[in-house]
Structures are given as C-alpha cells and as structure tokens.
Amino acid sequence: MELKVQPIDIHVGKYKVILNSIDAKELGVYEGDRVRVTGHITVTAIVDFTDDLIPPGMIGLYHEIKEDLKREWTEIVKVEPAEKPRSARIIRKIMDRNKLEQDEIHELVKDIVEENLSEIEIAAFLASSYINDMTDDETEWLTRAMIDTGEKLEFNSSPIMDKHSIGGVPGNKISLLIVPIVAANGLLIPKTSSRAITGAAGTADLMEVLAPVEFSSAEVKEMTEKVGGVLVWGGATNIAPADDKLIKVEYPLSIDPHCQMLASIMAKKGAVGATHVVMDIPTGPGTKIKNIHEGRKLSRDLINLGERLGMNVDCALTYGASPVGRTVGPALEVREALKVLETMEGPNSLIEKSTVLAGMLLEMGGAASPGQGQELALETLRNGKALAKMKEIIEVQGGDPNVSYKDIQPGEFTADLVSPATGYVIEFRNKRIVQIARVAGAPNDKGAGVLIHKKHGEVVKKGEPILTIYADKEKKLEDALKNAQRDLPIVVEGMLLEKVPSIREI
C-alpha cells in the first residue's frame, strides 16, 4: 500500500506510525503490530490507530521515522506488514519459564535499546522476570548486554572507584561528600547518578544546584581524568541505555525484578569502567530492604555478580529508618553537605555514613590501610582537602568554585509543622517526608523541601516545630502544609490518636 505522509513533528522516543483504522484493516495489521515504511531507505515501526487524526490514504510519521527516512513530509511512502522481532518470541520463552541463551538475551536488550519493542512487550518481559527470576548466568548475560549496547568509559589507569546507594532513604546526600573525599586521595571516581523518580532529590538533582550535570561519555572521562572525580547525570550519556528504558516501564507497574535490579546497578558500574565498588544498602522500615536478612542476601548477590564481571564489590548495610541528616530537597541538602565540607559542622548521621563508605573505598583502592579508611576520610574533611577537591569538581563541570553553603538559598515560602503533644519522637515515616517535599515542588523546584527539627528519640514540646516546609511557590507551600497536617509524618509519644466517646457522652 502506498500512503501520503502527514507530519506529526513530535518526538516519541520510539519508531511509531499512525494509520487510519480503514487502512490498517486493509493492510491486515493491528495496534502494536509492525510495518515496513520505505522511502529512500526502509525502517520498521510500531503501529498506532486513529479514526480521525489521520485520514484514509495517509500515514502519520513521528519525528524519529522522518529523520531516518530523510524524506520530505509531502512524499509518498510504501507501507507493508512486517513480522515481529525475534525478541518478542524470546519474551514468550521467559513467560513459559524456559531458560535463555546468552545470544537471546543480547538480542532482547539490543531491541529494547533500538526501540524495536513496544512498551507492552517490555512490560511483559519485566513482569515475567519479576515472577520467574533469572538464573545467575542469565543475570550476568543481561548485565553484560546492557553494558555492551551502550557507550563505555575506558581509563588507562586502575583502580576506578564507584559507589551506589540502593535508595529508599530521603536526604541521602552522601555522594556530595564521598566523591571529593575519594578523589582528594588520588583515586578516580566517575560518579554517574540518577535524577529522582519517586524521591525528593536524586544525586544529579543535588549537583545541578552547583553545576551542570549533563555531559557526554567522552566529557565524563576527560573531566574525571583531569580532577579525579565527577558528579553527573547518567541519563545524559549513552551508558547502559537499556536501563532508563526499562525503568520507564517499571515505574507505572511498581515492580523491580530482582535480576533487573542487579543488572541495572552493575551495568552502570561496568560501563564506567569501575573496578572497585561500594554498595550502600539501607535497611529498615520504609526502605526497599526491610531487614538485615534481606540486606545480606542482596549483598551476596551483588558480590557474586561483581566477581563474574571482574569487579570487586563490598556492601554496607546502613541504617535507613530515618533520613540522612536533617534536610530533604535539592537546595536544602546541598547547603547541608557544603556546610560539612566547609566547617565539619553537620548532622552525625551524614558525617558518619559518608566517611564510613568513603573509608571503605579508600581501603579498597589502596589509599588507606585496612581498618584506617574512615579515619583518613575524616581527616580529608578536617584538613580541607575534600572541600578543595569539590571546588575543582564544581569548576570542571561549569559551576562557580567559590560558592559557599551560605549562598545556597532554599525556597522563600516556609511553614512550620508543630508537635501536637509533648513527648519524644517514636516513629519517623520516610515516605511521608518525601511526599510532603514533592508536593512542595521537589525535585523540579530546587528550593522546595523539608528541614527536620526533631528526629527519632528526640524530645519535643507541644507546639514546637518538628519540621519546616520550604517551597518556591506559595500555592505549593499551602498544598504541602495541608498534606502534612492531614497525615503527620512524625509520631510523638503521648499523642492522642482518637477519642471515642461513650454512649452517655453522645
């Protein structure tokens, strides 16, 4: 069938076309099927239907198809049905609980990266691997495929250090301290980080307060070799590109298959050339890892996968029942971290966690003797070397190296949430803290977030502020305060939950 092209100049990130239902019926294709579209070259695209957007006799080509065809919008293209890619059948194999070969997994990941699969097919892959976990061999092959289908950083020197936090704990700003500490001691640490998906601030969101974070792989390598470390957004590179595409589909499903989580973490480390990695695994209520037992199992799996990939992996099970430090949200967290770098003043939870993990990396990289890593990390903070290195990192990424924590201003609109009773904090609900910060505008509004005055076990008086909400916009502050008051994120001992009157009182 020959169809006239109608422009739809929209980037959809997939090879997709829109057919009128009449033409689709004539071709014998259904939504989600593939068609070959031939102009000067031939490309394969996934079909969407419409009854009115595209009239019969025409085909809607999205931007990506138009760019590949290199045709003018007004020309005629030939359209014919195409078979589904082999990887669609490979997904069915997973659903049937059959084991995969290495070449099958590579082909599957390649089709995900090249966007030859629909989101429904990717969702089927994720759901199947969530129900039927992959073997150790399959997980290794999945990881290697995710590395090989993207760009890789290759350094001439060794070791290359890296760290990763599993997530689930608000205020986990430790990379802003760990990276400069490690780099200040002569080790290379090309830290690629994520933006927040469900949280109030990813490491990339934090660093963006201080400097640009979007760079190519080549630029990341060059900057790391120049100053020893970087803090950049991994999504701007082409490092392990399958991961972002899988996460996009995982999010609405609220699933995180075990094999996919392992591959996601380790592929990013392998792609940046890491030889030594420390994993931060927060455990406790409100985290992804509910208890020590689960944390130990995940640690063994990460260490085992690291060995298969030629990486040395150490894991740290860390306390995750309350936020790290007293701030949640981009500007607030950056201010707190910079203050530690500049003055060594700050929450013990932030300083201790950062120096313990940095110390592990220093020992793994040979910069510190066994058992002496944390002390060297603390000394690197005290003597100002970590601060000096952070200034170099900020400058090489295009920020102002002279910025001080005093220059970082949170949102101008604030409101206090006060304690309804006198007592002490007996419960801290991490997810509610994150929800409040997000309603206030975080992470997109850099000044939005929460400053925590009282943490677990601390004494509080009735009417005393337990946290302050910051926002860049007044309406968002009002919404966040209402949200916080409706379901308090902090429980104080002695707080009356409800009074149920007796019959005689009614």
- Residue positions annotated with a catalytic role: 256
Return the H-helix or E-strand segment holding 94.
helix 86-95
Regarding beta strands 16-20 and 58-62, do their DSSP bridges make them parallel or antiparallel, or are they unpaired? antiparallel
Helices (H), 414-466: 430-439
Residues 6 or more apart whose Cβ sits within 8 Å of residue 473: 411, 413, 441, 445
Query: End-to-end CA distance of the chain, in Å?
Result: 77
| HEC secondary structure over 337-399 | HHHHHHHCCCCHHHHHHHHHHHHHHHHHCCCCCCCCHHHHHHHHHHCCHHHHHHHHHHHHCCC
Give the C-alpha separation, 462 to 66, whole Å.
Answer: 64
| HEC secondary structure over 191-251 | EEECCCCCCCCCHHHHHCCCCCCCCCHHHHHHHHHHHCEEEEEHHHCCCCHHHHHHHHHHH
Q: What does 282-310 look like in DSSP terms, one character per residue?
A: EESTTSSB-SHHHHHHHHHHHHHHHHHHT
In DSSP terms, 490 is beta-bridged to 428
Give the C-alpha separation, 258 to 264, whole Å.
Answer: 10
* Amino acid letter, residue 27: L
Coil, helix or strand for 24? helix
What 8-state DSSP symbol labels residue 135? Answer: P
- Pull the structure tokens for residue 40: 């000067």
Count CB neighbours of 174 within 10 A.
27
Residues 6 or more apart whose Cβ sits within 8 Å of residue 5: 58, 59, 61, 66, 71, 72, 73, 74, 75, 76, 77
- Pull the structure tokens for residue 216: 């190519």
Residues 6 or more apart whose Cβ sits within 8 Å of residue 33: 46, 47, 81, 82, 84
In this structure, is the dihedral angle defined by the CA atoms of residues 486, 491, 494 and 499, taken in order, positive or negative? positive
- Pull the structure tokens for residue 220: 């990341």
Q: What angle do CA 422, 428, 431 make, to 5 degrees?
A: 140
